[in-house]
Amino acid sequence: MKLPRDLSGDELAKALGRFGYVPTRQRGSHVRLTTQLNGEHHVTIPRHNPLRVGTLKSILDLVAAHVGLSRDELLERLFA
């Protein structure tokens, strides 16, 4: 699945809620999400609109590694 080109940081944060990620703090234009599933994991997302493709790819790779999926499988579960 191709990476979405028009995804905002807020939309990504909401989608990651499906994997138990909840906002734990915010500083400026960045929000930190934390999940307790499969052990504690933190990820920081800029609240930019749209997210840059490289930034989105990096965030998705981190989350996919934590939940034990490939990036394509993660994309399917988040946006299908």
pLDDT in tens, 20-64: 999 999 999 999 999 998 899 999 999 999 999 999 999 999 999
Instruction: List the chain domain ranges.
Output: 9-79
- pLDDT band at residue 1, thresholds of 50, 70 and 90? confident
Exposed, middle or buried by CB within 10 Å (0-12, 13-18, 19+), for 9?
A: buried
β partners of residue 50: none
Q: What share of the chain is helix, strand, coil (3-state, %, to 5)?
A: 45, 20, 35
**Is this model's pTM higher than 0.95 or not?**
no
Which fold would CATH assign to domain 9-79? Metal Transport, Frataxin; Chain A (3.30.920)
Tokens of 20: 């138990």
Give the span between the Cα atoms of 46 and 68, in whole angstroms: 23
Tokens of 12: 């990504």
